[in-house]
Amino acid sequence: MPHAYTRAFLYENGATTYISVDGKRDTHVLDLNNSGMVLGTASNGFEAYDYFLYFQGETILLKDILAAEGYAGWSIDGAIGLNDNDQLIVHALNNATGEARELLLSTAALPVPEPGTWAMLLAGLGCVGMLKRRARAA
């Protein structure tokens, strides 16, 4: 019998949004806060989990938040919770020393795209729009 994959989802206003993580087939929700952020896990079966945060259509790996807060060389061993101030409580391990800590991470530490990134995105969308317009006119 084939393995049934599990996929986390949000159901809001009659619409279902499935939450996916690149390269992972199974996703699970651990917590949800009042602003609509979802804390979850992703894996490919029995391997170690990747922990993620999903908000407004974007999936962010918690290891990226950990690195942004200055914990390079650490990994997340467990996610404990998500509060309504958009903060996460995680259990983290220092990969070099084996030291373990509970950390309060803030989503404010996430990198914000540079203005040049936004400009390139808008220019690309403009080019696609022009090509579609030309294709209709032809």
Query: Tell me: the pLDDT tens digits for 29-42?
Result: 999 999 889 999 99
pTM for this structure?
0.71
Rounded to whole angstroms, what are the CA distances from 106 to 3, 25, 109?
36, 27, 6
Answer with the residue of higher pLDDT: 3 or 101. 101
CA pair distance 10, 29, nearest whole angstrom: 9
- Inform me whether the pLDDT recorded for 109 exceeds 60: no
Q: Are 40 and 8 in contact (CB under 8 A)?
A: yes
Q: Are 13 and 33 in contact (CB under 8 A)?
A: no
- Inform me whether the pLDDT recorded for 110 exceeds 70: no
